Protein backbone atom coordinates (compact mmCIF):
# COMPACT_ATOMS: atom_id res chain seq x y z
CA UNK A 1 0.00 0.00 0.00
CA UNK A 2 1.18 3.49 -0.74
CA UNK A 3 1.73 6.11 1.95
CA UNK A 4 -1.09 8.15 0.37
CA UNK A 5 -3.49 5.20 0.64
CA UNK A 6 -2.52 4.64 4.26
CA UNK A 7 -3.13 8.31 5.02
CA UNK A 8 -6.57 8.24 3.35
CA UNK A 9 -7.52 5.13 5.31
CA UNK A 10 -6.34 6.58 8.59
CA UNK A 11 -8.09 9.87 7.98
CA UNK A 12 -11.39 8.18 7.13
CA UNK A 13 -11.03 5.66 9.95
CA UNK A 14 -10.70 8.58 12.37
CA UNK A 15 -14.16 9.66 11.23
CA UNK A 16 -15.57 6.15 11.69
CA UNK A 17 -14.00 5.41 15.10
CA UNK A 18 -16.37 7.64 17.11
CA UNK A 19 -19.32 5.85 15.52
CA UNK A 20 -17.84 2.34 15.75
CA UNK A 21 -20.96 0.80 17.27
CA UNK A 22 -23.14 2.14 14.46
CA UNK A 23 -20.60 1.16 11.80
CA UNK A 24 -20.35 -2.38 13.16
CA UNK A 25 -24.13 -2.72 13.19
CA UNK A 26 -24.31 -1.38 9.63
CA UNK A 27 -21.65 -3.84 8.51
CA UNK A 28 -23.53 -6.88 9.80
CA UNK A 29 -26.80 -5.54 8.40
CA UNK A 30 -25.18 -5.25 4.96
CA UNK A 31 -23.44 -8.62 5.27
CA UNK A 32 -26.56 -10.54 6.24
CA UNK A 33 -28.62 -8.75 3.59
CA UNK A 34 -26.10 -9.71 0.92
CA UNK A 35 -25.45 -13.22 2.24
CA UNK A 36 -28.06 -14.48 4.71
CA UNK A 37 -26.44 -17.93 4.61
CA UNK A 38 -23.47 -16.51 6.54
CA UNK A 39 -25.53 -15.53 9.58
CA UNK A 40 -25.29 -18.99 11.25
CA UNK A 41 -21.48 -18.62 11.32
CA UNK A 42 -21.89 -15.85 13.89
CA UNK A 43 -22.70 -17.37 17.25
CA UNK A 44 -23.46 -15.23 20.26
CA UNK A 45 -24.16 -11.56 20.68
CA UNK A 46 -23.67 -9.76 17.37
CA UNK A 47 -22.94 -6.52 19.25
CA UNK A 48 -19.86 -8.13 20.81
CA UNK A 49 -18.84 -9.50 17.41
CA UNK A 50 -19.34 -6.03 15.97
CA UNK A 51 -17.13 -4.48 18.65
CA UNK A 52 -14.39 -7.06 17.96
CA UNK A 53 -14.63 -6.37 14.23
CA UNK A 54 -14.25 -2.64 14.73
CA UNK A 55 -11.30 -3.17 17.11
CA UNK A 56 -9.62 -5.44 14.57
CA UNK A 57 -10.14 -2.92 11.78
CA UNK A 58 -8.65 -0.22 14.01
CA UNK A 59 -5.65 -2.40 14.81
CA UNK A 60 -5.11 -3.19 11.13
CA UNK A 61 -5.32 0.51 10.23
CA UNK A 62 -2.72 1.24 12.89
CA UNK A 63 -0.34 -1.37 11.48
CA UNK A 64 -0.69 -0.56 7.77
CA UNK A 65 2.76 1.00 7.65
CA UNK A 66 4.26 -2.01 9.47
CA UNK A 67 3.37 -5.02 7.29
CA UNK A 68 5.92 -7.19 9.12
CA UNK A 69 3.65 -6.89 12.18
CA UNK A 70 0.29 -6.80 10.38
CA UNK A 71 0.66 -9.82 8.10
CA UNK A 72 1.25 -12.42 10.85
CA UNK A 73 -1.79 -11.12 12.74
CA UNK A 74 -3.91 -11.42 9.59
CA UNK A 75 -2.54 -14.90 8.88
CA UNK A 76 -3.48 -16.05 12.38
CA UNK A 77 -6.94 -14.53 11.96
CA UNK A 78 -7.39 -16.27 8.60
CA UNK A 79 -6.44 -19.65 10.04
CA UNK A 80 -8.89 -19.11 12.90
CA UNK A 81 -11.68 -18.11 10.54
CA UNK A 82 -11.15 -21.28 8.53
CA UNK A 83 -11.94 -23.19 11.70
CA UNK A 84 -15.21 -21.27 11.99
CA UNK A 85 -16.28 -22.45 8.55
CA UNK A 86 -15.47 -19.30 6.58
CA UNK A 87 -14.80 -20.13 2.94
CA UNK A 88 -12.59 -18.22 0.50
CA UNK A 89 -15.68 -17.18 -1.49
CA UNK A 90 -17.11 -15.48 1.62
CA UNK A 91 -14.40 -12.84 1.61
CA UNK A 92 -15.80 -11.16 -1.51
CA UNK A 93 -19.18 -10.48 0.08
CA UNK A 94 -17.49 -9.29 3.26
CA UNK A 95 -15.54 -6.78 1.18
CA UNK A 96 -18.72 -5.53 -0.48
CA UNK A 97 -20.40 -5.18 2.93
CA UNK A 98 -17.39 -3.29 4.26
CA UNK A 99 -17.37 -0.83 1.36
CA UNK A 100 -21.14 -0.32 1.64
CA UNK A 101 -20.73 0.35 5.36
CA UNK A 102 -17.97 2.87 4.78
CA UNK A 103 -19.99 4.59 2.06
CA UNK A 104 -23.01 4.90 4.32
CA UNK A 105 -21.08 5.97 7.41
CA UNK A 106 -18.70 8.40 5.71
CA UNK A 107 -21.02 9.73 2.99
CA UNK A 108 -19.20 12.48 1.04
CA UNK A 109 -15.90 11.76 2.83
CA UNK A 110 -15.86 8.37 1.07
CA UNK A 111 -14.64 9.70 -2.25
CA UNK A 112 -13.17 7.62 -5.06
CA UNK A 113 -9.59 7.84 -3.75
CA UNK A 114 -10.66 6.80 -0.26
CA UNK A 115 -12.72 3.93 -1.70
CA UNK A 116 -9.72 2.78 -3.74
CA UNK A 117 -7.50 2.92 -0.64
CA UNK A 118 -9.93 0.83 1.44
CA UNK A 119 -10.30 -1.58 -1.49
CA UNK A 120 -6.53 -2.02 -1.56
CA UNK A 121 -6.45 -2.55 2.19
CA UNK A 122 -9.21 -5.14 2.06
CA UNK A 123 -7.41 -6.92 -0.80
CA UNK A 124 -4.33 -7.19 1.42
CA UNK A 125 -6.39 -8.39 4.39
CA UNK A 126 -8.45 -10.92 2.46
CA UNK A 127 -5.63 -12.42 0.38
CA UNK A 128 -3.49 -12.84 3.50
CA UNK A 129 -6.32 -14.44 5.45
CA UNK A 130 -7.33 -16.73 2.56
CA UNK A 131 -3.74 -17.88 2.05
CA UNK A 132 -3.42 -18.70 5.74
CA UNK A 133 -6.73 -20.59 5.70
CA UNK A 134 -5.54 -22.63 2.72
CA UNK A 135 -2.25 -23.36 4.46
CA UNK A 136 -4.15 -24.40 7.59
CA UNK A 137 -6.33 -26.83 5.67
CA UNK A 138 -3.58 -28.23 3.42
CA UNK A 139 -2.45 -31.75 4.21
CA UNK A 140 0.78 -31.72 6.18
CA UNK A 141 3.62 -33.75 4.72
CA UNK A 142 6.57 -35.05 6.64
100-138 pLDDT, tens digit per residue, is: 999 999 999 999 999 999 999 999 999 999 998 888 666
Contact 139, 82 (CB under 8 A): no
CA–CA distance, 47 with 106 (Å, rounded to integer): 21
Q: Write out pLDDT tens, residues 91-101.
A: 999 999 999 99
- The topology (CATH level 3) of 3-135 is Globin-like (1.10.490)
CA distance 139 to 35: 30
First to last CA, the chain: 36
Half-sphere exposure at residue 52, Cβ-oriented, CA atoms within 13 angstroms: 8
Q: Are 100 and 30 in contact (CB under 8 A)?
A: yes
Amino acid sequence: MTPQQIELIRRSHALIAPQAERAGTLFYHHLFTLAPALQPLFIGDIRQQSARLMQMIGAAVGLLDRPQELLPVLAHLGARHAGYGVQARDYQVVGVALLETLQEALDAAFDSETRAAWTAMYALVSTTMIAAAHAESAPQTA
